[in-house]
Amino acid sequence: MTVLLLVAGLVLLVVGGELLVRGASGLGRAVGLSPLVVGATVVATATSAPELAVSVDATLSGSPGLAVGNAVGSNTVNILLVLAVAALVRPQRGDRSLLRFDLPVALGFAAAVVVLGLDGDLGRGDGALLAVGLVGYLAAAVVRGRRAGAGGAGAAGDGADEEAGSTDPRPGRDVVVLLAGVGLLVLGATWLVESASTIAAALGLSELVIGLTVVSVGTALPEIVTAVLAARKGDTELAVGNVIGSNVANIGLVLGVPALVVPGGVGVDPAVVRFDAPVMIAATVALGIVLYTGARVSRPEGAVLLAWFVAYTAYLVLDGTDHDALGPFSAVLLWFCLPVSLVAAVGFAVREVRAGRRAGARGQRSP
């Protein structure tokens, strides 16, 4: 029965992700927002609904480690897995505005988890601060998107109409499709997390490790499905905006709302402040470096991110089970994988810079 519930959850996530992409993209075009802004606001908040449902339920059930591990782990998964998989399907394009505004906000929210969690608890004041910060970010993102849309209404609007296949927007229909997609995502994620958590608990993993691995990957499946479907449709900006916006929502919404409404707030395990949140911050910084070099995530860069996700997950499982291989595995990560990744990052950066210069030179020579 547990396996059947797992499979049913996966099916609902795929169908819900398809509906969400259709509804959100159509709604964004109807109100004049770019795919990047749609991904960072509407889609990002919608795909964080499963994480919110899991975190509130876990906190009320007396499992704060599951709630915090879910939010922090989902952010790491979004960068190292969701964006990596999307980039392997099709290279993902970003935007310089992400580096100036969205990514620093995501980095600030990630750092807030460390600062606010130093006392071992996220109280109502902390929750209010995170929630208000999220509302401010979403409002600013929409305003910026509308201004950009107004500035480039000509060609951009024509392209959007061609992609939509119609010049007659139907926001009412798009809202219904969007809500249906969110509903299926929440139900599918709930079934998936319940079944996966049962399996993981039977293997002897701790509550925090379950939240950081099984639950975070399970609740991130809507983002994975959304990113892959968007990439296949050619919306290569939606995935990047979705990942960054989801990371902001996962802190402001998934941690902020339970801390604000649940009596006693949300407890923060010291391991989160000491290791898991810094890993989340490092992944966010790595994404900033990748986008800075070429405003996109290429397939080789996606492969490196995916390799680090596998290594991070393996470390969590080995650490959570006190496996004898933890020491040698950690040494390999520190003295081999990390230097190789740094060399690869430098190589990718040099290649992107050279490609940009060649493109600029060709543009200057053309009449």
Q: Is residue 361 part of a domain?
A: no
Q: What is the pLDDT of residue 129?
A: 93
CATH of the domain at 113: 1.20.1420.30
| Structural domain includes residue 146 | yes
Q: Is 366 within a domain?
A: no
State the alpha helices, DSSP H only, in the chain: 2-30, 35-38, 44-47, 49-60, 64-77, 83-89, 96-97, 103-116, 124-151, 153-164, 171-202, 207-210, 216-233, 236-252, 256-261, 270-271, 277-294, 299-320, 326-332, 338-365
Q: Which amino acid is at 202?
A: A
For the residues 41-68, what does the mean pLDDT come to? Answer: 73
On whether residue 100 sits in a domain, the answer given is yes
Per the structure, the count of domains in the chain is 1
Question: Residue 169's pLDDT is what?
Answer: 65
Q: What is the pLDDT of residues 100-159, one digit of tens each?
A: 888 899 999 999 999 998 888 888 899 999 999 999 988 887 777 666 655 544 433 444
Q: Residue 46: inside a domain, yes or no?
A: yes
Residue 363 lies in a domain: no
Task: Flag whether 365 is in a domain.
Answer: no
pLDDT in tens, 286-333: 888 888 776 778 888 888 888 888 888 888 878 777 777 777 777 777
> pLDDT tens for residues 223-260?
787 778 777 777 777 778 778 888 898 898 888 888 88
Alpha-carbon gap, residue 349 to 83, rounded angstroms: 18
User: Can you give the residue range of the structural domain that contains 312?
Assistant: 2-355
pTM of the prediction? 0.74
User: For residue 102, what pLDDT is reported?
Assistant: 85
pLDDT digits (tens, 9 = 90+) for 269-299: 888 888 888 889 988 888 888 887 767 788 8
Q: Does 140 fall in a domain? A: yes
